[in-house]
Structure 1
Amino acid sequence: RIHRKIILEIEEIIISEAKFVNIMTEKLNLVVQDFIFKHTAKEDSKIVKYYEEKFKK
């Protein structure tokens, strides 16, 4: 009985930690996607400005 209770408690801890890791992974994924989007948008705007200046001349 005691061993089974300990195993169930360990199982609960593992499940809880797995959920936490999953949530953190999802949040990290959103941060990376946001960073890539902003970086790409910034680079795209630099390219647009370059060509706008080039074609104004």
Structure 2
Amino acid sequence: MEKVIQTLKRKDGERRIPVLKLEIDYELQTLFDAIQAEEQEQVEESKGRLEELRGEWLRLEA
């Protein structure tokens, strides 16, 4: 039963990774725009969101 659960989690992760990459790309663009516009609040929000996405990606890759 444990192996079945692990297999299902792995398949969910495989489907999530491409979406996660798109989210990271979008957030990087948002960060770039905020830096260019000198919007410090948005810069901090984007950095926080990128850190969350990074953590999720690392969990999925493990």
TM-score of the superposed pair, with normalisation by structure 1: 0.45
Q: Answer with 1 or 2: which has the greater Rg.
A: 1
TM-score of the superposed pair, with normalisation by structure 2: 0.42
> Relative contact order, CA 8 A, sep 6+: which one is greater?
2
Structure with the larger helix share = 1
